[in-house]
Amino acid sequence: MKNNLLVVVDMVNGFINEGPLADKNINKITGTVVNEIKKAIQKKYTIIAFKDCHMPDDAEFKDFPPHCIGGTSQSELIPEVKSYENNLIVIEKNTTNGFNTKAFKNLVKGNIWDNVLVVGCCTDICVLQFATNFNEFNKNHNRPTKIFVAENGVYTFDNSEHNAEKNHQNALQRMQDLGISVVSLKEKTNFQMHNEKTR
């Protein structure tokens, strides 16, 4: 049986439902994300959910307005995902890159996964950093782990200085260029990442 991992990045209220960095359009991936969580539970795959969660004086607030402060609803998983919380390994992070968290590094030490599917937000920031760092790590350690990113399971925010669709597509291309498989997930396919249709 395949030893697979689903990684859900930052499906928190502070990036989707409320606060200075939230964009409700990201909800367009919520159905796909929940569907993948359900399939992964059924197949008994490991599921990690990264959650942006800050202290009020975190260094990241030099670059971004304060967001996702621990203990506020912004740092909570969105309700659609939170209802599966008991099945998730929730990892809090205080920078954009979940790969560098102690909790993830400890999990990686003890586990070599065959396939990793990444969903969540934002395509061009936290998803891109996690997927490319993990991919590089696997190559560096000669691990066979294959990283997949679902093009319809990740998305990014839109504003006057940041075109969502353009940044989403550019980030997918960048990840593909670096050896990550960008796949399109169909509603009813099984969670067999190695068989998913590639772009």
Could you tell me how many residues of this chain bind Zn ion (CB under 5 A)? Answer: 1
Closer to Zn ion by CB, 71 or 110: give it. 71
Span interacting with Zn ion, options 33-41, 50-58, 78-86, 134-142, rule CB under 5 A: 50-58
* β partners of residue 121: 155
Pairwise CA distance, residues 165 & 122, whole Å: 11
Shortest Å distance, C-beta 130 to Zn ion:
13
Instruction: In angstroms, give the least distance from the CB of 24 to Zn ion.
Output: 18
145 Rama class: left (phi>0) / alpha (psi -120 to 50) / beta = beta
**Amino acid identity of 160?**
S
Name the segment binding Zn ion (CB under 5 A); options: 45-53, 128-136, 139-147, 185-193: 45-53
Nearer to Zn ion, 171 or 185 (CB): 171
Minimum CB–partner distance for residue 61 and Zn ion (Å): 8
Does the footprint of Zn ion cover residue 52 (CB under 5 A)?
A: yes
Report the amino acid identity of residue 20.
P
Rounded Cα gap, residues 64 and 190, in angstroms: 38
Q: Is 124 in the site for Zn ion (CB under 5 A)?
A: no
C-alpha 150/C-alpha 198 separation (Å) is 10
Residue number with CB closer to Zn ion (64 or 137): 64
Q: Distance (Å, rounded) from C-alpha 24 to C-alpha 22?
A: 6
Structure-token pair, residue 85:
């919380």
What is the closest distance, in whole angstroms, from the C-beta atom of residue 183 to Zn ion in the complex?
Answer: 27
Q: Of the candidates 69, 182, 66, which has an alpha carbon nearest to the alpha carbon of residue 123?
A: 182
CB of 193 to Zn ion, least distance (A): 28
Helix (H) or strand (E) holding 90: strand 89-93
- For Zn ion, which stretch binds (CB under 5 A), given 52-60, 100-108, 124-132, 137-145? 52-60
- Judge whether 123 and 171 are in contact, CB under 8 Å: yes
**10 forms part of the interface with Zn ion (CB under 5 A):** no
Q: For Zn ion, which is the closer residue by CB, 52 or 151?
A: 52
Contact footprint for Zn ion (CB under 5 A): 52
